[in-house]
Amino acid sequence: MAKNVTVRTLAKMKQAGEKIAMMTAYDYPTARLLSEAGVHILLIGDSLGMVVQGQTTTVPVTLDQMIYHASMVSRGATNGAMVVADLPFLTYQVTPEDAMRSAARMMQEGGVHGLKLEGGKELAPTVSRLVQAGIPVMGHIGLTPQSVHAFGGFAVQGKTADAAMRMIEDAKAIEEAGAFAIVLEAVPAEVAAAVTEQLAIPTIGIGAGPQCDGQVLVFHDFIGYTSGYIPKHNKRYASIAETIVTAARQYVDEVKSGAFPGEEQTVHLQASEQEAFQDLLQRKGERRG
């Protein structure tokens, strides 16, 4: 990417039928590599609570933690990628004023280009308030992980005709409030396609089928850095966990055997300094005697 990706870029991509690639990032080196690879949007997701911190949900993640990770990603996005951050649980849902304060900190301290908020039409007034203040907002409907306890688990949303229609209404409300894009998570492909067709703003799918205007993956799932259950919508493009375990075992073996560090990893004093050092050691030994 030669030019910076902006909200205008994304709008033009939707109009042209060009797909948008988004991926999560939580630190500087990851952001730098993904930006270099041409990923359009880097998302500092509160998913970091689960894939980085080892939490069972995203609920425990704090605003300070999000800002910390966002600041690293913002510094690493050196090749034009747009940087978007989640506002975490209950930092924006209570009042629009709370949302403004949280957004101000994330934009100023985190250095991001936009924010992602979970929720449907009930969130529209907050989205509108932020947009009026000049803050780009990405919506997020369907399975909204911050509401996992209300859903009773990580389940597909919009599986009935009525639920699907409510999702379309939610999406339209978020669009009308001024959002520049909207994430559709864990939604039947037919519903996601209908939402995508009816919106002028881009849709970014995760477990929502191929008809969305773009897709997003969690970085740790993408590279095979996690273990255990793999959601159906994830695709692993590498197996980094296996590589790390194999390399770590080799390291342990070489430390035990003395093969590491070898001569290539060892620095020696110059001959003249070795003599001087030995002389000093000898004198110190004599003084102790």
Which residues are part of the catalytic machinery? Answer: 185
Q: Are 88 and 61 in contact (CB under 8 A)?
A: yes
Say whether 46 counts as a known binding-site residue: yes
275 torsion bin: left (phi>0), alpha (psi -120 to 50), beta (else): alpha
Say whether 74 counts as a known binding-site residue: no
Say whether 86 counts as a known binding-site residue: yes
Report the alpha-carbon distance of residue 255 to residue 204 in Å, rounded. 47
Task: Specify burial of residue 234 (Cβ count, 10 A radius: 0-12, 13-18, 19+).
Answer: middle
Q: Are 179 and 131 in contact (CB under 8 A)?
A: yes
Q: Which residues, 6+ apart, have CB-to-CB distance to 119 below 8 Å?
A: 93, 126, 139, 140, 141, 144, 170
- The label of the residue with tokens 């519903």 reads 191
Question: What six digits make up the tokens of 178?
Answer: 């001024």
Half-sphere exposure (CA, 13 Å, Cβ side) for 150?
9
Binding-site members for 3-methyl-2-oxobutanoate are: 46-47, 86, 116
Residue ranges for the known binding site for Mg(2+) are 46, 86, 118
Pick out the residues of the known binding site: 46-47, 86, 116, 118
